[in-house]
């Protein structure tokens, strides 16, 4: 409950929800501002005046949802981090949530992070689609997160997970966590696809170290027997050879 722990109840949230018809048409602002306080930057931030002017600075902001196009320019302006943009039409399976983020380091585009709900609990993996952090935004970045559709009204913050430290592919510096993510979240099932997405097996070792380990992860996570996997072709040369040597220019010292 807001007055007790600062966490809005489902009823509080319902009252702030844009109309369903508007949500169905694409990105739109959601103003999760609950308290009457003397604050109004949002009303000045919107280039389309979608957040309506206040008669009294203590008013709770009101929105003309027809005017809002979901650009998100208001998000970084709100000192209460109360403004979000939600796009339920982002794709078949995913919704997009644009949210304010004031931690460093900023996540990278494409990175998978933990989506947190309003109580700060991890609820799902989320993919960083875009990081907007211009000089003008004064250190409040706006992060675009792709989340499973049913999480669009849940995810309001994110946590950057520390990069895994178990290196599986030494040639190309790929970690166990990255491989697990490909298998569990992206639904990748074959060595060939992992090779092409992460370069595992394309380095000097030609996959001799990493591919058996990756095959074991596929077995652990999906139950596919390593013998029934299609193994990438081992390609010549068996050990790296200098072009100069191949061209007939003497011996390769490092391998002599």
Partner 1 sequence: MHRHEVIIIGGGVTGCAIAYNLAARGLRDVAVLERYYLASGATGRCGAGFRHQWGTKTNCLLAKHAIAKLETLAEELDYPGGIDLKQKGYLILAYTPRMVEQFKKNLALQQSLGIDARWLTPEEAKEIVPVLNTEGLLGATYCPKDGHANPFKVTDAYARAAKRLGVKIHTYTEVLDIKVEGSLKTVLTNRGTFQAPVVVNAAGGHAATIGRMVGVDLPIKPERHQILVTEPVEPLLDPMVISFYHHLYCQQTPHGSFVMGLGDPNEPKEYNERSSWQFLVQMAGKIVRLLPPLKNLRVVRQWAGVYDMSPDAQPILCEAPEVPGFFVAAGFSGHGFMIAPMTGQLMAELILGQPTSLPVDMFHLSRFSRGELLIEPSVV
Which chain residues interact with partner 1 by CB under 8 A?
91-94, 109-110, 127-130, 190, 192-193, 196-197, 199, 202-204, 206, 233, 235-237, 240-249, 252
Residue 98 CB coordination number (10 Å): 23
Q: Which of 70, 207 has the CB closer to ligand SF4?
A: 70
The 8-class DSSP code of residue 190 comes to: -
Q: Which does 137 bind (CB under 5 to 8 A by kind): ligand SF4, partner 1, none?
A: none
Query: Which residues would be at the binding site for ligand SF4 (CB under 6 A)?
Result: 29, 31, 33, 39-42, 45-46, 48, 50-51, 61, 68-74, 78, 80, 82-83, 85
Q: Which of 16, 242 has the CB closer to partner 1?
A: 242
Cα–Cα distance between 189 and 64 in angstroms, integer?
47
Q: Which of 61, 115 has the CB closer to ligand SF4?
A: 61
Q: Which does 42 bind (CB under 5 to 8 A by kind): partner 1, ligand SF4, none?
A: ligand SF4
Q: Which does 244 bind (CB under 5 to 8 A by kind): partner 1, ligand SF4, none?
A: partner 1
State in angstroms the smallest separation of the CB of 209 from partner 1.
14
Cα–Cα distance between 166 and 116 in angstroms, integer?
25
State in angstroms the smallest separation of the CB of 241 from ligand SF4.
58
* Rounded-to-10 torsion of CA 71, 73, 74, 78: 140
Q: Which of 129, 171 has the CB closer to ligand SF4?
A: 129
Q: Which of 104, 238 has the CB closer to partner 1?
A: 238
State in angstroms the smallest separation of the CB of 73 from partner 1.
19
Q: Quote the crossing angle between the two packed helices 176-184 and 210-222, to the nearest 10°.
A: 40
State in angstroms the smallest separation of the CB of 156 from ligand SF4.
14
- Name the token pair of 196: 């092409």
- Name the token pair of 218: 């596929």
User: 198 vs 70, 207, 246, CA distance in Å?
Assistant: 34, 12, 29
Cα–Cα distance between 76 and 96 in angstroms, integer?
17
Q: Which does 246 bind (CB under 5 to 8 A by kind): ligand SF4, partner 1, none?
A: partner 1
- Provide the sign of the torsion angle of the four alpha carbons 13, 93, 189, 208, taken in this order: negative
Which residues are bridge partners to 116 per DSSP? 122, 157
Q: Which of 16, 130 has the CB closer to partner 1?
A: 130
């Amino acid at each position: 409950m807001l007055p007790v722990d600062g966490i809005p109840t489902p009823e509080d949230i319902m009252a702030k929800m844009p109309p369903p018809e508007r949500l169905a048409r694409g990105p739109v602002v959601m103003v999760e501002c609950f308290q009457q306080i003397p604050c109004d930057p949002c009303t000045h931030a919107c280039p389309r005046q979608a957040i309506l002017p206040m008669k009294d600075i203590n008013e709770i902001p009101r929105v003309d949802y027809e005017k809002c196009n979901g650009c998100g320019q208001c998000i970084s302006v709100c000192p209460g981090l109360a403004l979000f943009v939600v796009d339920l039409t982002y794709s078949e399976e995913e919704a997009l949530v644009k949210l304010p983020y004031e931690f460093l380091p900023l996540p990278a585009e494409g990175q998978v992070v933990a989506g947190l709900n309003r109580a700060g609990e991890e609820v799902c993996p989320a993919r960083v689609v875009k990081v907007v952090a211009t000089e003008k935004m004064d250190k409040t970045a706006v992060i675009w997160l792709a989340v499973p559709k049913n999480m669009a009204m849940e995810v309001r913050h994110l946590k950057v997970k520390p990069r895994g430290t178990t290196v599986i592919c030494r040639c190309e510096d790929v970690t166990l966590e990255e491989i697990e993510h490909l298998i569990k979240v992206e639904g990748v099932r074959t060595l060939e696809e992992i090779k092409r997405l992460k370069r595992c097996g394309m380095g000097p070792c030609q996959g001799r170290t990493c591919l058996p380990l990756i095959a074991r992860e596929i077995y652990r996570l999906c139950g596919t027997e390593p013998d029934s996997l299609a193994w990438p072709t081992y390609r010549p040369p068996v050990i790296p050879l200098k072009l100069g040597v191949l061209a007939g220019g003497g011996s390769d010292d490092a391998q002599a």
